[in-house]
Amino acid sequence: MISKEIKQQKLVLLTNRFPFLPGEQFLETEIKYLAEQFNEVHIIPVNASSKINGRKVPSNVIIYDDFSINSNKYSKFVHYTLRVFSSKQGRLWFGKDFSRARGIHPKCQFILLSWLGTALHLKDFIKAKFGEELEDHIFYSYWLSTSALALALLKEEFPGVKAVSRAHRGDLYAYAHVPEYLPLQKEIIERLNKVFVISEDGKNYLLNEHGGSIVEKIRIERLGSLKAPSFSKRSADNVLRIASCSFLSPVKRVHLILDALKSISDIPIEWRHIGDGELRREIEGQINELPNNIQVKLLGNMDNKDVIKNYIDQPVDLFINVSKSEGVPVSIMEAFSCAIPVLATDVGGTSELVDEHNGILVPPDVTAEELSLTIKDFYHSSGEQKNQKSENAFKKWSEEYNAEKNYLLFTVSLKKGD
């Protein structure tokens, strides 16, 4: 007889868009380790609006680009309403969270309906694709979202299915949303085999929200970045060169860096930002308000390897992340792998990465004035202090956020069913 472990050499990975753009850059690294550990990796990109020019994946990765969600809001609402209430499972799961949703905000009822409609649709798609071989696959949702809900529904119908999920930030913390609501989170966790959070903060949040009944379901599995070919150099001409890397979206608060630099007129600074987004035009419009001693480069989106190359080819003295909300930022891991100290806000699991030994941790509600003073203090610190932070930054990456180590351990345990 073939053992379950040997049979389960096939993985089904549910992503948001990956391998299609944009987002989920971390999966560019993780997919290589998943493909090495499993005979086949099947990817279902649940929310990919454009399915052309996808990123390269290993040869044993199969992409399902035929799953789609109706983009017309009215049609989608009608479809999902019918889908949920015509299904006994849909009605039961809607009832599990209806009272809580209505109590938070009237809009939450429709969020719940949308999540369930999407999840039921995705569950049926999975059943159609994998049929009688469901238990021969391991199902892995990259986000604790509608994809994880679909797997919870699937596992309720087929208890022998192995189904797990990661949990990051927006899919984990209800307070990151307006209104503060994530549907059926406890029920999803209770049904899945395991939920892998990327930080201690994430684990504590779930236990505080949902109690000890889920403690055996939660495990910390940290993300990571690849080792950089070499370290970033420090400026040798008294110019302070800072870098940031994120979407230009409100939650990332890149405008706060801009506002802080407006009040620094006595230090030559070069700031380069990697990443694009909805606020680019607004930020571009404010660059001319900076004093003449500040130079800015908005470099747009880059592949991970090009981000690292940029840090190595041009000096970086300090990396800055002032997000309002985070899981554990991979952008900081990448900076640490290049031995770059980091100034970051104390949000989410960032404090598990950044401390006074390898950078500077500032309060979540730091003001532009406070940020400018912190930047100045770093500039005026001694070369020895800066060197020590750089060494400790790389040490932290090496010990806890090395992708080769973290992803290999994760994929091996995933295959074994641990």
- Percentage of residues of the chain with pLDDT beyond 90: 84
Between CA 367 and CA 28 the distance in angstroms is 35
Report d(CA 50, CA 18) in Å as an integer. Answer: 11
Answer yes or no: same fold for 4-224+404-416 and 240-401.
yes
- Name the CATH code of domain 4-224+404-416 (choices 3.30.1360.120, 3.40.1350.10, 1.10.287.130, 3.40.50.2000): 3.40.50.2000
pLDDT score of 71: 63
* C-alpha to C-alpha distance for 201 and 361, rounded to whole angstroms: 16
Domain ranges of the chain: 4-224+404-416, 240-401
Q: Tens of pLDDT along 13-56?
A: 999 999 998 888 889 889 999 999 999 999 999 998 877 778 89
Question: How many residues are recorded in the chain?
Answer: 418
Q: Which tens digit of pLDDT belongs to each residue from 91-103? A: 999 999 999 999 9
Q: What is the pLDDT of residue 405?
A: 95
Q: What is the reported pLDDT for 132? A: 87
Average pLDDT on 72-80 reads 76
Cis, bond preceding 363 (omega within 30 deg of 0) = no
Whether 363 shows a pLDDT value over 70: the answer reads yes
Q: Please answer whether residues 320 and 344 qualify as being in contact, where contact means their C-beta atoms are separated by less than 8 angstroms.
A: yes
* Whether the predicted pLDDT of 368 surpasses 80: yes
pLDDT tens readout for residues 348-361:
899 999 999 999 99
Residue 325 and residue 333: Cα distance in Å, rounded? 16
Q: Answer yes or no: is pLDDT of 245 > 60.
A: yes
Indicate the average pLDDT of the chain.
93
What class, spelled out in words, does domain 240-401 have in CATH?
alpha beta
Q: What share of the chain is helix, strand, coil (3-state, %, to 5)?
A: 50, 15, 35
Q: What is the pLDDT of residues 185-239, one digit of tens each?
A: 999 999 999 999 999 999 999 999 999 889 999 999 999 999 999 999 999 999 9
Q: Which of 85-89, 137-141, 323-327, 364-368 has the lowest mean pLDDT?
A: 323-327
Note the pLDDT tens digit of each residue in 178-191: 999 999 999 999 99
